[in-house]
Amino acid sequence: MKDSINKLTELDRRNFLTGAAASTLGVSILPGIAGAAESQVITPASHATAKNVIFLYMSGGMTHVDTFDPKTTSGISGPSQPVSTNADGVQISNLLPELAKQADKFAVVRSMTTRTGDHGGGNYLMHTGFARRPGVSHPQIGSWAQYFLGRRSKLVPDSVVVGGGNPGPGFFRPDHSPLPIGDPNRGIKDLLPKINKTQFERRLKYAETFRESFAKGFPHDEVKSYADFYEETVKLFDSKTTELFDINKEPASVKTLYGNSRFARGLLLARRLVQNDVRYVEVQLGGWDGQHGNAGTAANRTNAMDAPIAALLQDLSSQGMLDDTMVVLTTEFGRTPKINGRGGRDHFPKAFSIMMAGGGVQGGKVIGKTDAAASNIETESYEPKDLHTTVAYALGLPVEKRIHAMGGRPFFVGNRGKVIKEAFGSA
Amino acid sequence: MSLRLFSVLGLISLLSLPMVSGRTWINSSGQPIKGSFIDLSSGVVKIRLDDTNKVVSVPLKVLSKADQEFVGKRAMTGKADLVALAVKRIDAAIDAGLEKKNLKYNEGLNDHMYLRRVYLDIAGRIPDYDEAKEFLNSRKKNKRQELVIKLLKSWDYASHNYNHLAELLRIQTTFPGTILRNDAFIHWLKEQIDTNTPWDELVREIVMAEGRIWDNPAVGYHLRDNGMKLDHVAFMGKVFLGTDITCAQCHDDPDGEWTQYQYYEFSAYLADLETKGKAQQAKMPKKKDLEAYIATSQKLDPGNEEQKRRINNIVGNYQRALRDMSRASELRVHTVANRSMRLPDNYQYEDGFPRDKVEPWILFGKEKGSTAAALNPRQRLAAWLTSPKNERFAMNIANRMWARYMGRGAAEPIHNIDPEKSLNADLLKVLAEEMVSLNFDLKAFAWAIVNTKAYNRLATRKEVNITDPYYFPGPLLRRMTSEQVWDSLITLMVEDPNQFKLDSGKRYNQLINSSQSAGAPKDFVARVDEFNKFKPEQSLVNAAGVSILKAKPPKGEKPFGQTALSKKPTGPTDEEMMMAFMEAARKRKLLLARASELPQPSDPAHFLSKFGQSDRTFVINASSLKGSVPQVMELMNGYATEILTQPGSRIFLEMKNLRSNFEKADVAFISILSRRAVGSEQHLLDRELRSGGPEVFSDLIWALLNTPEFLFIK
């Protein structure tokens, strides 16, 4: 047996591996057996404009004045000045010169507001659309999408979070969890066996023998579902899958376009994954809370986000992916427009800005308006749940449909927020 | 005088006791000793002294009547008859249920299955190699009984049962939204479980507790829900009464069971409960003295303008740090007299107006007027809640325990029992009655469960869905809990899985307790520095008090391997291998201690979270037994598996000195699956052990861990 394996070509070897796992670990080939029971797979609503979402999370509270809502008011403008962009009438901070060249691709929403001024609570709310409450763990949009639309690929997970911890499935089944990836440069390498293939195959072969009597004795779905998870995991180890997570396979010119920072590489990985059937990718950029959000932090963070995000928009657009991939850039709350005594900006939930592009979003647009002090919203305001409802709406998820979870409590994707209709060109 | 009044009187006396972990015992000559109860056997009580931690033995009969009663409630001695009676009644209830449906009990358990099952159910982990061998090789007729008693008395029992209670009470290492650590409560609770404090007493004590965490660890229960009293009440209903009133917090229950008014009536018992107060005044040394000390110790010249600024900065930092620390003292359970519960501003029903005052009223049953009059609302609540006459209190805990051992409650869902709808209504009734007969002694109740006919049968081979009727011909097939999987891996890795335990939080509380005097500037600075550098792992210590970060394997002993003969002149010693192993674990930030001792909830990237440990925010479906890709990845390539398959882990050291490869394989099988290889497994071993290289044992261990048989309790 062992000898015959050694003679196989690389491709056969891969097939053998999956096959081995299938027979060995008792994999049932029924599609989606692990998740189907509780999911409700539907077709996306006809108004759907997006198939994928790249969710960019500026962790720590992104200052709106120094990014998408610059002002000239003294004592407020801080280190930034409004500058014109390649889109008529759209001005953003001079700290984002590269994004200014892509403004025709994105819309800015300046009328975001939230009631949560602490990082933990704000982070939770912006990731789920729901306020954090004891007793409930809410899913993120990627998991909602998988719940309603079904798992897209058998090879890769439906959602992935790059550099943002392990959010879990909320109240959905464990297989609705985003796959967490720490270092985008390493992809899933850290998850791979640290032994050679021959040894790995030998281990699988042993496991096959050792599971026989138990699997026969207890033919339960739960036991079988483990076999399915083994199958999926072995697939991830397959070099073909590993490659999907390997940004080093990207051409040098593309890598240069994005840049070398971890965030930039995370964006590149996001694009690569979306291209390969991952529906939802989140990439985080931290550090917005450093030193009370002072001028140095703002310049440093805007610098970190500017060129890579501009590159992402350019790349998605040139590959024809921007039409059905929605890019959302958000944060837990804004920063006080008024510069504080330490030369920085404090937490400011009352008004802040986000950015949206692609997936049906009309670029070159500013939605909402704050006053000269960047403190008061003068137009209709939007909350985190409205952003969630908007994304869900764009994906064609049934935002009016009540589902029951956690002992029968009712929930809606987007938490019954309103759609930011201007983003799509209407109203 | 009813039973009720008696228990209420007991309650009052309990209140007046100083809240320390131990107890003041009085011997016949009136001598008091302070310490906690450990065990009673052959008429001798073992007590661990508070001040020296030494264990002393005292004959039961020289103790005061109150002490004898206290011991009687906790000790297992003398309960065999009561337990046997309970077993008989439970068996009869199940027999009747099965008979009615013409069903038979499942097949029995062989020694291997029994061994694994009772270890996992009572000790929360698989047996180690020596424990397995001891049991399997024993020819004693009553070896199963002996094993059960041994496990019920072990610290493993406390660790395992703590995990369940921690999930129910949603215990977190740090109180949400604060920097205050909860170690004292966590430690206290394990002690209560270890010394078998009866359930009703335990619940009374946490409901009644007052003070700050360093005065009275039991306040950790109310402090957990600081600032969310109405949620706290809903959790109370689920956890202690198997009654879910959550919906009624905001509106009348659509199923018509609970009204919002009732919710507020019940909450009114806690109207005067307050979990937050003023911070204690943070005591600082005189500013002048502190500046002088900083100047000297940091060699700064106050005469120099710039250095003076530096001194001021440093002093400012200490002031701020102390203020932050002293905010922890805001968390305090106390009673604010005459505060009442009021209906919410948006109250919409006809039975009250918004902001109306609501009087306390229980959810069901009766509260005795004469006793109620003498007590404050929280005392009344505790008395009614834990009374043996409050059926649901006993039913809830009995049903929960039954569900843990059997895979399903006699009534489901366990957080909201409807006895009338239960297919096993008779069983439920018997369980509740026996809980009362055993005086809420949870060890005795566990002892009874594992002796029932149903428990001593193989798990049901056929798949049973949650909606299918089930009459307990045996337990259901259960996947191990997250904690059981982790603790089992720890058992395979280290000599003593219970070596490192979370300490009582004493040192931490000493540092943060702001009521203490500031002391000299030097001591003050040292204290704040120590607090700032405090690492949670410092609290994870061995018996000698050495932190898991620094501990070394025991010197000069050869805990594994056989004799001096087997020690080869070349190559590393066991000790060196263990040292390298512990280093490997540290490098990977793996704390090789049981789940009950680790930070709670675990980090989302931790093994425990991936296997479904509760994140300690809610109760219903808080933990999960479902599989996932990250779990499989952990078992295939995670750090735990990686280091477990390395020399230096316990299982490897067990194998190291054995000559024959087949004996080694036997160690792997018994250690991981508690059984020997059979049939086709034998054939595989025959083939592989002859031809395989040195890594064959790593492969063997890996493969055994990566079988469902490892994860499921059959």
Residue from the list B612, B632, B642 with its beta carbon closest to the beta carbon of A194? B642
In chain B, residues with a C-beta closer than 8 Å to the C-beta of A199 are 695, 699
What is the distance in angstroms between the CA of the first residue and the CA of the last residue of chain B?
50
Amino acid at A239: S
Please answer yes or no on whether A193 and B703 come within 8 Å at the CB atom. Answer: no
Confidence class for position A193, pLDDT limits 50, 70, 90: confident
- Contact map slice: B 568-607 vs A, CB within 8 A: 604-605
Please answer yes or no on whether A217 and B714 come within 8 Å at the CB atom. Answer: yes
Residue from the list A134, A211, A227 with its beta carbon closest to the beta carbon of B617? A134
CA–CA separation, A236 and A155 (whole Å): 7
Q: Of A386 and B31, which is predicted with more confidence?
A: A386
pLDDT tens digits for B131-178? 999 999 999 999 999 999 999 999 999 999 999 999 999 999 999 878
- Look at residue A19 and tell me if it is in a domain: no
- Contact map slice: B 400-419 vs A, CB within 8 A: 413, 415-416
Sign of CA dihedral A69, A74, A78, A79: positive
Q: How far A152 CA sits from the closest chain B CA (Å)?
A: 16
Q: At what angle do helices B482-493 and B155-169 cross, to 10 degrees?
A: 150
Q: How far is CA A427 from CA A379, A422, B229, in A?
A: 13, 5, 44
pLDDT value, residue B10: 39
For chain B, state the CA radius of gyration.
Answer: 28
CA–CA separation, A25 and A234 (whole Å): 11
In chain A, residues with a C-beta closer than 8 Å to the C-beta of B629 are 157, 175, 179, 229, 232-233, 236
User: Are β-strands A365-367 and B341-342 bridged in parallel, bridged antiparallel, or unpaired?
Assistant: unpaired
Structure ipTM: 0.85
User: Are β-strands A352-357 and A365-367 bridged in parallel, bridged antiparallel, or unpaired?
Assistant: unpaired
- Look at residue A400 and tell me if it is in a domain: yes
Instruction: Select from A281, A316, A422 the least CA-distant residue to A361.
Output: A422
Report helix, strand or coil for B503.
coil
In chain A, residues with a C-beta closer than 8 Å to the C-beta of B618 are 134-137, 406
In chain B, residues with a C-beta closer than 8 Å to the C-beta of A165 are 604-605
Q: How far is CA B19 from CA B11, B218, B484, in A?
A: 13, 8, 32
Is residue A390 within 8 A of residue A331, CB to CB? The reply is no
Residue from the list A34, A211, A222 with its beta carbon closest to the beta carbon of B479? A222
Question: Across A272-286, A402-416, B53-67, which has the greatest mean pLDDT?
Answer: A272-286
Give domain B3-74's CATH architecture: Roll (2.30)
- Examine the pLDDT at A23 and tell me if it is beyond 90: no
State the count of interchain CB pairs (< 8 A) between A and B. 155
Nearest CA in chain A to B624: A174
Phi/psi at B46 (nearest 5 deg)? -100, 130
Which of B247, B636, B691, B705 to probe by mutation at the A interface, max A CB count within 10 Å? B636
pLDDT value, residue A31: 31
CA–CA separation, B284 and B325 (whole Å): 12
DSSP string spanning B131-156? HHHHHHH---TTHHHHHHHHHHHSHH
Domain limits for position A176: 45-184+246-424
Phi/psi at A370 (nearest 5 deg)? -110, 165
Q: How far A425 CA sits from the closest chain B CA (Å)?
A: 39
DSSP string spanning B481-500? PHHHHHHHHHHHHSS-TTSS
- Examine the pLDDT at A307 and tell me if it is beyond 60: yes
Please answer yes or no on whether A233 and B712 come within 8 Å at the CB atom. Answer: no
Torsion region of B541: left, alpha or beta (phi above 0 gives left; psi -120 to 50 gives alpha): beta
pLDDT value, residue A35: 30
Q: Kindly state the tokens that stand for A94.
A: 């001079």
Confidence class for position A157, pLDDT limits 50, 70, 90: confident
Contact B552/A at CB under 8 A = no
Nearest CA in chain B to A235: B629
Q: How far A30 CA sits from the closest chain B CA (Å)?
A: 17
Please answer yes or no on whether B628 and A232 come within 8 Å at the CB atom. Answer: no
Please answer yes or no on whether A173 and B626 come within 8 Å at the CB atom. Answer: yes
Contact B565/A at CB under 8 A = no
CA–CA separation, A276 and A271 (whole Å): 9
A283 DSSP β-pair partners: A56, A162
In chain A, residues with a C-beta closer than 8 Å to the C-beta of B178 are none
CA–CA separation, B701 and B456 (whole Å): 29
Number of domains comprising chain A = 1
DSSP string spanning B15-31? HHS---SSEEEEBTT--
CA–CA separation, B281 and B285 (whole Å): 13
Torsion region of B345: left, alpha or beta (phi above 0 gives left; psi -120 to 50 gives alpha): alpha
Please answer yes or no on whether B684 and A166 come within 8 Å at the CB atom. Answer: no
Confidence class for position A5, pLDDT limits 50, 70, 90: very low
- Look at residue A98 and tell me if it is in a domain: yes
- Look at residue A293 and tell me if it is in a domain: yes
Q: Which residues contact A248 (CB under 8 A, 6 or more apart)?
A: A185
Contact B110/A at CB under 8 A = no
Is residue B529 within 8 A of residue B211, CB to CB? The reply is no
Q: What is the CATH number of the domain that holds A382?
A: 3.40.720.10
pLDDT value, residue B647: 82
Contact B479/A at CB under 8 A = yes
Is residue A390 within 8 A of residue A37, CB to CB? The reply is no
pLDDT value, residue B157: 98
Phi/psi at B576 (nearest 5 deg)? -65, -40
CA–CA separation, A293 and A352 (whole Å): 14
Q: How far A17 CA sits from the closest chain B CA (Å)?
A: 15
Burial label, B535 (beta-carbon count in 10 A; 0-12, 13-18, 19+): exposed
The domains of chain B are located at 3-74, 80-158+389-479, 159-279+333-386, 483-497+555-713
pLDDT value, residue B251: 82
Please answer yes or no on whether B626 and A211 come within 8 Å at the CB atom. Answer: no
CA–CA separation, B382 and B330 (whole Å): 25
- Examine the pLDDT at A347 and tell me if it is beyond 90: no
pLDDT tens digits for A199-250? 888 999 999 899 988 989 999 888 887 887 888 788 777 778 888 999 999 9
Arithmetic mean of pLDDT, A271-295: 85
Please answer yes or no on whether A220 and B463 come within 8 Å at the CB atom. Answer: yes
Please answer yes or no on whether A177 and B630 come within 8 Å at the CB atom. Answer: yes
In chain A, residues with a C-beta closer than 8 Å to the C-beta of B228 are 134
pLDDT value, residue A9: 39
Q: Kindly state the tokens that stand for B551.
A: 């501990």
Please answer yes or no on whether B684 and A211 come within 8 Å at the CB atom. Answer: no
CA–CA separation, A349 and A335 (whole Å): 8
The 3-class SS string of B288-356 reads: HHHHHHHHHHCCCCCCCHHHHHHHHHHHHHHHHHHHHHHHHHHEEEEECCCCCEECCCCCCCCCCCCCC
Question: Which residues in chain B show pLDDT less than 50?
Answer: 1-20, 556-569
In chain B, residues with a C-beta closer than 8 Å to the C-beta of A207 are 702-703, 706-707
| Per-chain mean pLDDT for chain A | 85
CA–CA separation, A126 and A410 (whole Å): 20
Please answer yes or no on whether A220 and B699 come within 8 Å at the CB atom. Answer: no
Q: How far A173 CA sits from the closest chain B CA (Å)?
A: 8
Residue from the list B618, B709, B714 with its beta carbon closest to the beta carbon of A134? B618
Instruction: Select from B673, B701, B671, B709 the least CA-distant residue to B128.
Output: B671
Residue from the list B477, B605, B619 with its beta carbon closest to the beta carbon of A180? B605
Please answer yes or no on whether A406 and B621 come within 8 Å at the CB atom. Answer: yes
pLDDT value, residue A292: 53
- Examine the pLDDT at A318 and tell me if it is beyond 50: yes
Phi/psi at B629 (nearest 5 deg)? -60, -45
Please answer yes or no on whether B629 and A165 come within 8 Å at the CB atom. Answer: no
Please answer yes or no on whether A174 and B477 come within 8 Å at the CB atom. Answer: no
- Look at residue A26 and tell me if it is in a domain: no
- Contact map slice: B 247-306 vs A, CB within 8 A: none
Q: How far is CA B383 from CA A193, A214, A237, A338, B9, in A?
A: 57, 49, 59, 56, 10
pLDDT value, residue A102: 98
Q: How far A82 CA sits from the closest chain B CA (Å)?
A: 37
- Look at residue A194 and tell me if it is in a domain: no
Instruction: Select from A206, A232, A237 the least CA-distant residue to B710.
Output: A206
pLDDT value, residue A176: 85
CA–CA separation, B509 and B213 (whole Å): 8
A82 DSSP β-pair partners: A93
User: Are β-strands A347-348 and A179-181 bridged in parallel, bridged antiparallel, or unpaired?
Assistant: unpaired
Which of B628, B676, B700 to probe by mutation at the A interface, max A CB count within 10 Å? B628
Please answer yes or no on whether B627 and A229 come within 8 Å at the CB atom. Answer: yes
Is residue B300 within 8 A of residue B389, CB to CB? The reply is no
List the single range of A13-17, A167-171, A382-386, B655-659 with lowest mean pLDDT: A13-17
Arithmetic mean of pLDDT, A32-37: 31
- Examine the pLDDT at A399 and tell me if it is beyond 70: yes
Is residue A176 within 8 A of residue A298, CB to CB? The reply is no
pLDDT value, residue B560: 40
Confidence class for position A135, pLDDT limits 50, 70, 90: low
Q: How far A159 CA sits from the closest chain B CA (Å)?
A: 13
